[in-house]
């Protein structure tokens, strides 16, 4: 087993049988690997193996108390890890496989290491839709804890290059399957007191949750940190970010939307889905640019726009 502090060579393999076999072997040895999901690239390890999960935190340089999302192949497997009520089951059936994470109580014999859930009595679970993550779940037969594959506090990766930007030399393997589709992390929700609470907005919107569950949907109060990863400054690109720009200054890397193009137009047509898929790449480009500041055009708060603006507000702290 490699010392966690020793720099290692990070291998990049295109998605395919060889990459999945290599990744499965590494996960079996307790080493985390970066793998795309339909939202962002994740850094995956066997959630039952506390040393492997500790290596995720070490690679990310993440404060040790953030609970992780556990990925499983199906609702049937999810029900071995967490207790699903009627409403959670309806949501799982409506949106899995897909970009929804459900927070539920741990089962009594839940095999997931407590370090993966940060000692909480609850567990965040999702069934991903991406072929690479699904193949890795199948080949390992393990529940996979996987936070976004970036150093702690940095912008989430939507391309293999983004993973390397902060984790090169810190992880053994990145499976490259091109840019991710959704571009923002999964929606995190829990059912409480006859309502669905959105802990993190994402691709599955409040309207979609309401329709599938038949329950009212609300967000949590800003001061109540239920999802510790939702702390302000989680998405910092490392330079000042100005939001709702009507125009860009010469010293600003402009992230555009609709009629305001800038250096990196998110969507010339003002399409929130296209903008979400490109958002983190734009922030990475802004971070890498020679310009000392970043400015972002105003984005309407409807649908996926709410998730985009949530991430931008944190990037601007
Ligand atoms: O799209 C995604 O969800 C990606 C891909 C890789 O699946 N994963 C991801 O993981 O965004 P991460 O670790 O960056 O974010 C996990 C979030 C954090 O905000 C964490 O606090 C929250 O999930 N979380 C995990 N367990 C929780 C729990 N038991 N209760 C409340 N929040 C929890
Ligand atoms: Mg993250």
Asked if the model's pLDDT at residue 226 lies above 60, the reply is no
- CA 22 from chain center: how many Å? 23
Q: Are residues 176 and 245 in the same domain?
A: no
With a 6 Å cutoff on the Cβ, whether 227 touches ligand 1 is yes
Question: Ligand 2 centroid to 154 CA: how many Å?
Answer: 8
3-state helix, strand, coil in the chain (%, to 5): 30, 25, 45
Nearest atom of ligand 1 to the alpha carbon of 182: 1
Name the band, by pLDDT with cuts 50, 70 and 90, for residue 7.
confident
CA of 148 to the centre of ligand 2 (A): 4
Residue 65 lies in a domain: yes
Asked if residue 42 has its Cβ within 6 Å of ligand 1, the reply is: yes
Structural domain boundaries, residue 273: 241-315
Instruction: Measure 38 CA to ligand 1 centroid, in angstroms.
Output: 15
**What is the pLDDT at residue 6?**
66
- Position 241 pLDDT exceeds 90: yes
For ligand 1, atom 3, name the residue with the nearest CA: 186
User: For a pocket test of ligand 1, which of 72, 101, 166, 189 has the largest count of ligand atoms closer than 8 A to its C-beta?
Assistant: 101
The answer to whether residues 246 and 169 belong to one domain is: no
The rounded distance, in Å, linking the Cα atoms of 239 and 219 is 29
Provide, rounded to the nearest whole percent, the portion of the chain with pLDDT above 90: 71
| Ligand (nearest to CA of 66) | 1
* Boundary-marking domain end, from 134, 158, 182: 182
The DSSP string of 32-47 is -EEEE-SSSEEEEEET
Q: Are residues 247 and 177 in the same domain?
A: no
pLDDT, one tens digit per residue, over 205-217 is 999 999 999 999 9
Domain CATH code at residue 101? 3.90.870.10
- Assess whether pLDDT exceeds 70 at residue 5: no
Q: Is residue 248 part of a domain?
A: yes
Helix (H, G, I), strand (E, B) or coil at 253: strand
Mean pLDDT of 3-30: 90
Query: Phi/psi of residue 287, each to 5°?
Result: -65, -35
Does the pLDDT value for residue 1 go beyond 80? no
In this structure, is residue 211 part of a structural domain?
A: no
Among candidates 146, 175, 166, 173, which has minimal Cα distance to 61?
166
- Atom from ligand 1 closest to the CA of residue 128: 7
Which of 182, 205, 231 represents a domain boundary (last residue)? 182
Residues 134 and 251 in one domain: no
Are 165 and 246 in the same domain? no
State which of 166, 182, 198 marks the end of a domain.
Answer: 182
Give the pLDDT confidence score for residue 120 in this predicted structure. 84
Residues 155 and 250 in one domain: no
265 & 165 share domain: no
In-domain check, residue 102? yes
Distance 250 CA to ligand 2 centre (A): 31
Residue 2 has a pLDDT of 44
Q: Using an 8 Å Cβ cutoff, are 195 and 218 in contact?
A: yes
User: What does the mean pLDDT of the chain come to?
Assistant: 90
Confirm or reject: Cβ of 87 under 6 Å from ligand 1.
Answer: no
Residue 139, CB-side half-sphere exposure with 13 Å CA sphere? 20
d(CA 311, CA 232): 9
Q: Which ligand has the nearest atom to the CA of 97?
A: 1
One domain for residues 272 and 146: no
Q: Is residue 199 part of a domain?
A: no
In the DSSP assignment, the letter for residue 20 is H
Q: How many Å lie between the centroid of ligand 1 and the Cα of residue 147?
A: 6
Is 215 inside any structural domain? no
Distance 229 CA to ligand 2 centre (A): 7
Ligand closest to Cα of 110 equals: 1
End-to-end Cα distance, the chain: 38
Q: What is the domain count for the chain?
A: 2
Does 101 sit in the ligand 1 pocket, CB within 6 Å?
yes
Residue 281: inside a domain, yes or no? Answer: yes
Q: Which atom of ligand 1 is nearest to the CA of 41?
A: 6
pLDDT surpassing 70 at residue 221: no
Both 160 and 267 in one domain: the answer is: no
Q: Render pLDDT for 65-75 as a digit per residue (tens, 0 to 9).
A: 578 999 999 99
In a domain, 272, yes or no: yes
- Considering the domain architecture, whether residues 177 and 249 belong to the same structural domain is answered as no
For ligand 1, whether the C-beta of 77 sits within 6 Å is no
Percentage of residues in the chain having pLDDT higher than 70? 92
Helical residues (DSSP H) of the chain, grouped into ranges: 17-28, 50-60, 75-81, 86-95, 131-140, 160-167, 206-213, 272-288, 304-315
Q: Which band of pLDDT confidence, cut at 50, 70 and 90, is reported for residue 3?
A: very low
Q: Encode pLDDT of 254-287 as tens digits.
A: 999 999 999 999 999 999 888 887 888 899 899 9
User: Are residues 29 and 158 part of one domain?
Assistant: yes
Whether residue 230 is predicted with pLDDT greater than 60 in this model: the reply is: no
| 147, 256: one domain | no
């Amino acid at each position: 087993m490699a010392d966690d502090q020793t720099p290692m060579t990070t291998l990049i393999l295109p998605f395919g049988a060889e990459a999945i076999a290599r990744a499965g072997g590494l996960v079996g040895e307790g080493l985390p690997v970066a793998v795309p999901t339909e939202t962002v690239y994740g850094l995956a390890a066997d959630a039952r193996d506390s040393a492997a999960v500790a290596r995720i935190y070490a690679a990310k340089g993440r404060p040790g108390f953030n609970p992780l999302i556990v990925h499983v192949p199906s609702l049937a497997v999810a029900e071995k890890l967490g207790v699903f009520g009627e409403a959670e089951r309806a949501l799982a059936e409506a949106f899995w496989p897909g970009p929804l994470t459900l927070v539920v109580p741990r089962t009594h014999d839940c095999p997931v290491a407590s370090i993966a859930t940060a000692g909480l009595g609850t567990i965040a679970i999702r069934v991903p839709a991406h072929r690479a993550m699904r193949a890795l779940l199948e080949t390992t037969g393990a529940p996979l804890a996987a936070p976004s594959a970036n150093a702690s506090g940095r912008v989430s990766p939507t391309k293999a290059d983004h993973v390397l930007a902060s984790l090169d030399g810190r992880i053994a393997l990145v499976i490259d399957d091109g840019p991710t589709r959704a571009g923002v992390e999964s929606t995190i929700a829990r059912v409480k007191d006859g309502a669905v609470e959105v802990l993190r907005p994402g691709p599955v919107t409040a309207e979609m949750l309401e329709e599938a569950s038949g329950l009212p949907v609300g967000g949590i109060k800003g001061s109540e940190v239920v999802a510790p990863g939702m702390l302000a400054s989680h998405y910092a690109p490392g330079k000042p970010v100005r939001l709702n720009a009507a125009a860009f200054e010469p010293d600003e890397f402009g992230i555009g939307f609709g009629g305001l193009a800038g250096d990196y137009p998110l969507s010339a047509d003002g399409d929130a889905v296209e903008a979400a898929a490109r958002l983190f790449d734009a922030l990475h480009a802004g971070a890498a640019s020679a310009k000392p500041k970043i400015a972002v055009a105003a984005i309407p708060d409807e649908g996926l726009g709410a998730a985009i603006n949530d991430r931008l507000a944190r990037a601007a702290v």
